[in-house]
Amino acid sequence: MSRPVIYVISDSLGETAEFVVQAAKSQFHDSDLEIRRIPYVMDEQTIHETIQAAREEEALIVFTLVVPELQCLLIEEAKKAEVPYIDLMGPMINGLASLLQRSPKKEPGLIHKLDAEYFRKVEAIEFAVKYDDGRDPRGIMHADVVLIGVSRTSKTPLSMYLAHKSLKVANVPLVPEVDPPDELFLIPQEKCIGLIIHPEQLTNIRRERLRSLGLASGASYANVERILEEIDYAEKVIRRVGCPRIDVSNKAVEETANLIMDILKGGGATT
């Protein structure tokens, strides 16, 4: 006796439907099924041919078609041929449409577009981690945006926030004792963002940081004269690079990130 056959028909890859079939199959001990996936079905001829084959083999059809015309055709022809079928997506889409009071897009393959966006985001996050705090200046040449500024101007939080927007971000601390990497002067000016901050606020932030670490607040890191020196140096580097600048004083990370994205789009002014 030949193995029972299930035809999986989809207007995309058909992975979702096959996964559901495999999950259902696991509930039947020692079941021996043959699953034949028919992906990217966008024409009537393929549907007719698959239904004919399913009729001859007494097979079951499982489908995830979102184009209404193809859905209706498959159901109509399957009924005529007395071929059993299961619509995996239709009831769910109809249920969500009723719940959300909105019409579905009815576009094939959207889940894979979302997957692509997800992987771009993961790649951007890995990039931000790898090129955080000037660890490797080579990342500057491959970044979508490079953030420069003194310590505690939110470079790392901004990098991670922007990475979740699928932007590859490198950030470089500006320290008087360390020359800025040459790569900063080789990239387009608009890809670099200088972050500045009021000296008084930076002093308070650094002193709080020292206290949280259990260190004396009078250390050089939070010394006013040292901070003024660092800010002056950072201003000189930012002017030399010629890049846009944002004053992050009293700004939330989200607010600064939105300003950066506006600048990257060419519609934002420096503040």
Q: What is the pTM of this model?
A: 0.62
Q: Which of 177, 182, 201 is nearest to 241 (CA)?
A: 182
What is the SS3 assignment for 196? Answer: strand
> Comparing 5-108 with 116-264, is the CATH topology the same?
yes
Q: What number is the average pLDDT over the span 234-238?
A: 97
**103 labelled as ligand-binding?**
no
Domain locations in the chain as residue ranges: 5-108, 116-264
Tell me if 105 is assigned to a ligand binding site. no
Q: What is the pLDDT of residues 17-71, one digit of tens each?
A: 888 898 888 888 777 889 999 988 888 999 999 999 999 999 999 998 888 889 8
Supply the mean pLDDT for the chain.
90
Q: Is 80 annotated as a binding residue?
A: no
User: Is 112 in contact with 13 (CB distance < 8 Å)?
Assistant: yes
pLDDT band, very low/low/confident/very high, at 189 (cuts 50, 70, 90): very high
- The architecture CATH gives domain 5-108: 3-Layer(aba) Sandwich (3.40)
Look up residue 83 and give its amino acid.
Answer: V
150 is in an annotated binding site: yes
What pLDDT is attached to residue 269?
53
Q: What is the mean pLDDT of residues 99-120?
A: 72
Q: Per CATH, the architecture of 116-264 is what? A: 3-Layer(aba) Sandwich (3.40)
Is 242 marked as binding a ligand? no
